[in-house]
Amino acid sequence: MALHGGLLKVQTSGHAEIVDLTAGVRSVVSTSGADRGVATVFVRGSTAAVTTMEYEPGGIEDLRATLDRLVPVRPEGSSGDYAHNRLNHDSNAHAHLRAALVGPSEAIPVIDGDLTLGTWQQVVLIDFDDRPRERTVLVQVVW
């Protein structure tokens, strides 16, 4: 058993930009030399999330619209604002909420030296913050 880590730096424009991490994660797995193992993908920070999806324009538009509807930028049925924004003079409460619901990590098996993703399944970062960010995604391969 061994461990190999990699760090992906990702520039985003925020506002729920969705970035395909698959090539970056594959590169860390390949460098590790692991044949069979597990790759953990984790985004540092409380306003971004990691999940998997088919990374195509329609799905990207739908996912952004769905999160806009489920967790709107301003709270529904209220003339006020989120408590996070009110108490901290901030504007990205919706980003914190979406990130906590989607979650920061996924664990993906490695077989035959590759991620066991489906053909139309990519690992993605969603940056919910309301401004451009440089994101740090950590990949740890255990095998």
Tell me the C-alpha to C-alpha distance, in Å, between residue 123 and each of 74, 84, 111.
28, 29, 16
Position 73 contacts its own copies (CB under 8 A): no
Q: Reduce the DSSP state of residue 46 to 3 states and report it.
A: coil
Q: Reduce the DSSP state of residue 44 to 3 states and report it.
A: coil
Quote the least distance from Cβ 23 to its own copies, whole Å: 17
Position 116 contacts its own copies (CB under 8 A): yes
Quote the least distance from Cβ 13 to its own copies, whole Å: 19
Pick the piece of the chain touching its own copies (CB under 8 A) from 8-16, 22-30, 61-69.
61-69
Q: How many residues does the chain have?
A: 143
Pick the piece of the chain touching its own copies (CB under 8 A) from 9-17, 24-32, 63-71.
63-71
Position 26 contacts its own copies (CB under 8 A): no
Tell me the C-alpha to C-alpha distance, in Å, between residue 23 and each of 95, 114, 115.
25, 11, 10
Position 21 contacts its own copies (CB under 8 A): no
Phi, psi dihedrals of residue 71, rounded to the nearest 5°: -130, 80
Residue 69 to residue 6: CA distance in whole angstroms: 35
Tell me the C-alpha to C-alpha distance, in Å, between residue 136 and each of 13, 25, 68.
14, 12, 24
Position 117 contacts its own copies (CB under 8 A): yes
Position 40 contacts its own copies (CB under 8 A): yes
* Interface positions with its own copies (CB under 8 A): 1-3, 5, 36-38, 40, 42, 44-46, 51-54, 56-59, 61-63, 65-66, 69-71, 75-76, 82-88, 93, 96-97, 99-109, 111, 116-118, 120-122, 138-140, 142-143
